[in-house]
């Protein structure tokens, strides 16, 4: 099909990606054409299968090829234009709900470089049809099965086993299933807050949660987030001044920075919040992506004064919307009541499928593969972003995100607008700030940001801006 230049400085995976891209764009590989299998192409080119996997993953992320499970990889059909009136915008560009919508709308040709989700190809084999069939066979009622509002007892015990392996003291009675992390946040707010109550949040932090808190009339009190954890002096000062009811905190692989809190920092957080009577809601939605054994507040506290929540949606499947909350029974009971009032229960099918995945060990193997892919993607994305001129602040220990600053003098607001016109979705740092303060950072999703298209766009934009500034400086000197 083509040959590789082994003396070139360009990595072999990059060469494969570029050669296949040229064949697709030149119509030598027409829509619907089946590509060589990973093993076949690796043998033809004399490279490792992982090298081909890397190239294929990038082409899938670019929307040029698609995975059809065991059938292999195929060139995507030309996307037909969707009538503009069929796409209802939930908000203005770069608003929180608009940004959340983009990752799920997945409009043709848009590179989701700042998305909070994994590429579909990374999750395509996580839940085979056979697993769904076996899950349904677990229950005599099949699709007529009902799910207890607290969640299936067998599933809750499996989740408890997972938590105990992380050092978190939990059992089935301390768990409540949810439709995901966003649902968990909503239940916590409904159960423990009233309009006007002060809520502490990390700054930067999860933008969609900020919108939810404002919508309900709570007072948001931002507390600066550092690489080692929340700013302890600012936390203590905020507790004294605002008497908050609740603190939302992400101790592992913080969104958007990717940082994880140190054990020392978390110990102090527990001491300060206990002293001031502040309840903690610990978000561990990104925790599955951590390659090691990080420390969590729920682990240190034994769930005393901590409501812990996580989700399987990002790591397994957006179609399997399921998460959970872990808390002491006295804290869990109001949450269960709110769940019954709002949605009654989660889906029996979702819970039966997850039970099957956890019972067979398939989930653990899938997570191991994801962490390996994320590690390779982080290395590639970090290298390309730095080469393009992005400064990466404390890249962290793993996970989905890199927090990068644009060069001095670059207007980040204009950059993200121009990028979207060029079908690249970037999210500016100010969007993640609870106080909406200006910020030179961008959140980069490593799975999509390893793509050469992003690096080339950023390098060209930064170079053009630098040239323009130089020309202005020369003109000023001459005058």
Angle at 327 between CA 200 and CA 358, to 5 degrees: 115
CA dihedral 322, 373, 440, 215 (to 10 degrees): 0
* Residues 401 and 304 both lie in one domain: no
Predicted pLDDT of residue 70: 84
Look at residue 93 and tell me whether its pLDDT is greater than 60: yes
* Residues 119 and 133 both lie in one domain: no
* Residues 393 and 325 both lie in one domain: no
CA dihedral 368, 369, 373, 378 (to 10 degrees): -10
* Residues 148 and 279 both lie in one domain: yes
Integer angstrom CA distances of residue 132 from 149, 348, 352, 389: 21, 12, 8, 46
Q: Where are the beta strands (DSSP E) in 20-144?
A: 65-67, 73-75
Q: Is residue 83 part of a domain?
A: no
Angle at 187 between CA 181 and CA 191, to 5 degrees: 150
Q: Is residue 88 part of a domain?
A: no
Lowest mean pLDDT: which of 10-14, 102-106, 194-198?
102-106
Lowest mean pLDDT: which of 48-62, 99-113, 326-340, 415-429?
99-113
* Residues 209 and 301 both lie in one domain: yes
Predicted pLDDT of residue 25: 87
In the sheet that holds 323-326, the strands lie side by side as 175-178, 323-326, 306-311, 279-283, 246-249, 198-203, 219-226, 229-230
Instruction: Give residues with Cβ within 8 angstroms of 177, minimum separation 6.
Output: 147, 150, 151, 152, 155, 156, 322, 323, 324, 346, 351
Predicted pLDDT of residue 458: 97
When pLDDT is averaged across residues 13-32 and rounded to a whole number, the result is: 91
Predicted pLDDT of residue 81: 45
Closest CA to 54 of 381, 405, 435: 381
* Residues 114 and 143 both lie in one domain: no
Q: Could you report the per-residue pLDDT of 256-271, keeping only the tens digit for each?
A: 999 999 999 999 999 9
* Residues 405 and 315 both lie in one domain: no
pTM over 0.95: no
Neighbouring C-beta atoms of residue 422, cutoff 10 Å: 12
DSSP string computed for 271-284: HHHHHHT-EEEEE-
Instruction: Report the alpha-carbon distance of residue 8 to residue 4 in Å, rounded.
Output: 9
Pairing of strands 198-203, 175-178: unpaired
* Residues 356 and 384 both lie in one domain: no
Contact by Cβ (8 Å): 244, 200: yes
Q: Is residue 433 part of a domain?
A: yes
Predicted pLDDT of residue 82: 46
Q: Is residue 6 part of a domain?
A: no
Instruction: Report the alpha-carbon distance of residue 183 to residue 189 in Å, rounded.
Output: 10
Mean confidence (pLDDT) of the chain: 92
What percent of the chain stands above pLDDT 90?
80
Q: State which residues form the domain around 434.
A: 96-124+376-478
Closest CA to 117 of 397, 384, 311: 311
Indicate the residue among 363, 387, 403 that finishes a domain: 363
* Residues 139 and 271 both lie in one domain: yes
Backbone angles phi, psi at 61, to 5 degrees: -60, -30
The H-or-E segment that residue 326 falls in is strand 323-326
* Residues 230 and 153 both lie in one domain: yes
Q: Is residue 391 part of a domain?
A: yes
Predicted pLDDT of residue 85: 52
* Residues 160 and 113 both lie in one domain: no
Give the dihedral sign, CA 337/339/344/347: negative
pLDDT band at 276 (very low <50, low <70, confident <90, very high): very high
Instruction: Give residues with Cβ within 8 angstroms of 86, minimum separation 6.
Output: none
Q: Is residue 1 part of a domain?
A: no
* Residues 233 and 317 both lie in one domain: yes
Q: Could you report the per-residue pLDDT of 142-190, keeping only the tens digit for each?
A: 888 999 999 999 999 999 999 999 999 999 999 999 999 999 999 999 9
In three-state form (DSSP H/G/I as H, E/B as E, the rest C), the secondary structure along 404-438 is EECCCCCCHHHHHHHHHHCCECCEEHHHHCCCCCC
């Amino acid at each position: 099909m083509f040959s590789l230049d082994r003396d070139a400085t360009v990595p072999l995976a990059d060469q494969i990606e570029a050669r296949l891209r040229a064949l697709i764009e030149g119509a030598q590989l027409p829509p619907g054409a089946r590509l060589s299998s990973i093993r076949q192409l690796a043998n033809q080119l004399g490279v490792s299968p992982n090298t081909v996997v890397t190239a294929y993953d990038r082409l899938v992320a670019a929307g040029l090829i698609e995975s059809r499970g065991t059938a292999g990889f195929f060139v995507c059909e030309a996307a037909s234009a969707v009538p503009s009136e069929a796409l209802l915008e939930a908000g203005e560009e770069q608003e929180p709900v608009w940004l959340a919508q983009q990752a799920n709308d997945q409009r043709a040709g848009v590179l989701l470089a700042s998305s909070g989700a994994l590429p579909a190809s990374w999750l395509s084999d996580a839940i085979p049809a056979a697993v769904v069939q076996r899950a349904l066979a677990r229950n005599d009622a099949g699709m007529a099965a009902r799910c207890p509002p607290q969640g299936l007892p067998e599933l809750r015990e499996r989740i408890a086993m997972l938590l105990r392996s992380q050092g978190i003291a939990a059992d089935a009675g301390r768990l409540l299933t949810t439709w995901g992390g966003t649902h968990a946040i909503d239940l916590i707010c409904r159960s423990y807050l009233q309009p006007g109550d002060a809520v502490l949040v990390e700054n930067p932090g999860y933008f969609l949660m900020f919108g939810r808190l404002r919508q309900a009339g709570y007072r948001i009190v931002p507390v600066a987030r550092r690489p080692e954890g929340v700013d302890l002096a600012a936390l203590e000062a905020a507790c004294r001044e605002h008497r908050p009811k609740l603190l939302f905190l992400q101790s592992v692989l913080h969104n958007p920075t990717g940082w994880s809190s140190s054990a020392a920092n978390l110990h102090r957080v527990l001491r300060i919040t206990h002293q001031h009577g502040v309840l903690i809601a610990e978000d561990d939605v990104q925790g599955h992506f951590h390659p090691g054994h990080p420390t969590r507040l729920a682990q240190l506290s034994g769930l005393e004064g901590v409501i812990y929540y996580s989700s399987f949606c990002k790591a397994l499947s957006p179609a399997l919307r399921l998460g959970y909350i872990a808390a002491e029974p006295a804290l869990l009971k109001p949450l269960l009541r709110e769940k019954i009032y709002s949605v009654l229960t989660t889906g029996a099918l979702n819970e039966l499928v997850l039970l099957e995945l956890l019972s067979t060990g398939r989930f653990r193997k899938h997570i191991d593969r994801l962490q390996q892919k994320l590690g390779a993607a982080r290395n590639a994305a970090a290298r390309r972003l730095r080469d393009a001129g992005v400064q990466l602040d404390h890249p962290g220990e793993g996970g989905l995100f890199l927090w990068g600053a644009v060069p001095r003098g670059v207007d980040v607001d204009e950059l993200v607008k121009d990028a979207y016109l060029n079908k690249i979705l970037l999210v500016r740092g100010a969007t993640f700030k609870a106080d909406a303060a200006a910020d030179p950072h961008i959140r980069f999703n490593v799975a999509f940001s390893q793509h050469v298209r992003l690096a080339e766009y950023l390098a060209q934009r930064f170079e053009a801006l630098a040239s323009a500034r130089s020309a202005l400086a020369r003109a000023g000197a001459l005058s």
